[in-house]
A and B are shown apart, each in its own frame.
Chain A
Amino acid sequence: MTRDETFLQFLLRMGDNTLILGHRVSEWCGHAPVLEEDIALANTALDLIGQTQMWLGLAGEVQGEGKSADDLAFLRDAWDFRNVLLVEVPNGDFGRTLMRQFLFDAWHSIMLGRLLKSSDDRVAAIAEKASKEVAYHLERSSDTVVGLGDGTEESHRRMQEALDYLWPYVGEMFASDEVDAEMAAAGVAPDPASLREEYDSLVQRVLTEATLTIPDSRFAHKGGRDGRMHTEHLGHLLTQMQWLQRAYPGATW
């Protein structure tokens, strides 16, 4: 891969994570347990879609084929998506949605913190804007995970089930490959493996307060970041998200 091709892969990984998670969170619209959560979920989705516009916008520039962020979002097939599997798993109940959010936010906030010092100014500028939003996402998802983990017997049980279900999807966020090695060598982005220690200590602290137990296994499902093998869920998500663009090619909206 050329340097630009590698850089493109990195940008797609960032932008596809926020796009797919933003889509998932937006599915909650109007169905949340309480009005404040409807507002917070819409707000989180909105931030993530805004970040997607920045990451995929830059990806289109770097790619140099005249593609816009919308082209990349709406006209790629599943195998071209580079998001981690964690963000494409279905919402489940509110507990699973917030647990997934927390597990992602914790990684996202550490990642963006490192990207503030990226050797690429455009990356650093996006990280600067996104990190402020994500600091709030992490605060909210941590509080909710603690509140529900240390709530009633039922809420505790549901949160533990959510953690057990999602934990095997955590490891992929820290799996390094040659794209990461090249980005790290160029000072554009950190090696994902180097975020794990900080992540574990953050997650451990919050989950302990939530009275939840992290599963013993370090087994990790993989295949999203390199597009080798997404879950069956991504195709359905794209079917819905991309429908208008696919059904009416060339129209402007």
Chain B
Amino acid sequence: MYAQMIKTAGTGVKSREEMTEQERAFQDKIDADIKIEPKDWMPDDYRATLIRQIGQHAHSEIVGQLPEGNWITRAPTLERKAILLAKVQDEAGHGLYLYCAAETLGVSRDELTEMLLDGRMKYSSIFNYPTLNWADIGAVGWLVDGAAIMNQVPLQRTSYGPYSRAMIRICKEESFHQRQGYDAIRKMAEGTPEQRKMAQDALNRFWYPSLMMFGPSDKDSVHSAQSMAWKIKINTNDELRQKFVDQTVPQAEYLGLTIPDPDLKWNEERGHYDFTQPDWSEFFDVIKGNGPCNTDRLAARNKAWDDGKWVRDGLLEHARKKRARKVAAE
């Protein structure tokens, strides 16, 4: 998943006594793993939180086209170019499913898009980092999609039906992307000295930003507790980050690449790797708009939207004329 720092609406988890009868029935359904569907009653705060979360995920898929698109025209072989095109196409498709899922909650794709473009809604911090060498494309698949999958796999069981179904489709494609990314960076790690250097450079730059994708620790957050009670968040950020580190370290070792963390080591007692936290002040800078690419990413999306206005208007007007001609003919 690409949602971070989603502010859960409401004041935290209510006790059964504090809940209205409707809220109790709603919570009972969630506890019994019965999916909530668009026409079912739901608390306003549940709806608002889901819109933020799904919307941010959708926006991330859309903005995420840009760092990868940056290398499509420079992909080194026809096969790599085709794989990258297919991946970016999948991502735009994920954006589409997710906007559709959000629409079932009563917000249109255009409204969400406008909130992205004017900065009211965010996308994942990771896409504010640049892709500087070809190995970055491998690293994005391996680490960024890898981190996203950590979150998305449990979310296949999320309580909101349309979101859960979108996640199931998305997960299938994401795990394919991750394998492709790993394969691309493996080729570099096994290649010439220059290629190895590119692979290590990509890992150096993407390691901490990937750890940031899970968001800061939320183990004591009342907001997270509410989202977890609603099953729109399944694990804490720290649990997922740990799982990601545990999975990724052996993969890096297999490639012969060094994770840029001198304190990284296996902790026998915990059965997990100990690792250094990312620089959270950098994370908050990126979230506030001061990442290396925030300005350019948002400008690119705004330009695409503004330049495309005549196209959207033209196609809508044509559809209107066609309908009018059809009515006139009847």
Contacts and interface: CB of A to CB of B under 8 A. Distances in A.
Interface stretch (B191-199, B211-219, B243-251): B191-199
Interface in A23-72: 23, 26-27, 29-39, 42-43, 45-46, 49-50, 52-53, 56, 69-70
Given A42-B92, A94-B311, A155 B73 contact: no
B93 interface: yes
A152 interface: yes
24 contacts: A23-B73, A26-B85, A27-B73, A29-B69, A30-B62, A32-B308, A33-B305, A42-B85, A46-B85, A46-B89, A49-B78, A148-B311, A148-B318, A151-B313, A151-B316, A155-B314, A156-B314, A240-B74, A243-B74, A245-B77, A248-B192, A248-B195, A250-B192, A253-B187
A140 interface: no
Contacts of B312: 33-34
Contact of B307 (A33, A46, A253): A33
A19 B82 CA distance: 11
B310 A155 contact: yes
A189 interface: no
Contacts of B73: 23, 26-27, 240-241
B26 to A, nearest CB: 32
A152 B76 contact: no
B87 to A, nearest CB: 9
Given A46-B86, A152-B310, A244-B76, A26 B194 contact: no
B313 A152 contact: yes
Contact of B78 (A73, A154, A248, A252): A73
Contacts of B191: 251-253
B311 A33 contact: yes
A251 to B, nearest CB: 5
Interface string B65-79: 110110011111111
Contacts of A150: 318, 321
A95 interface: yes
B303 A31 contact: yes
Nearest to A36: B96
A93 B309 CA distance: 12
Interface residues of A, number: 52
Nearest to A243: B74
Contact of B77 (A29, A148, A156, A253): A253
Given A26-B72, A31-B304, A53 B194 contact: no
A49 B318 contact: no
B272 interface: no
A25 B311 CA distance: 17
Contacts of B82: 46, 49-50, 53
A131 to B, nearest CB: 19
Which of the listed residues A36, A146, A152, A240 has the most CB atoms from chain B within 10 Å of its own CB? A152
Contacts of A151: 313-318
Interface string A148-169: 1011101110100000000000
Given A30-B62, A30-B88, A33-B312, 9 more contacts: A26-B85, A29-B85, A29-B88, A31-B307, A35-B96, A42-B92, A94-B307, A240-B73, A251-B192
A250 B191 CA distance: 10
Contacts of B72: 26-27, 29, 45
A199 interface: no
Q: Which 8 A-B pairs have the closest CB atoms?
A: A33-B308, A155-B314, A151-B314, A29-B69, A30-B65, A42-B89, A33-B311, A244-B76
A35 B319 CA distance: 18
Contacts of B62: 30, 35
A31 B80 CA distance: 21
Contact of A154 (B75, B88, B96, B310): B310
A174 interface: no
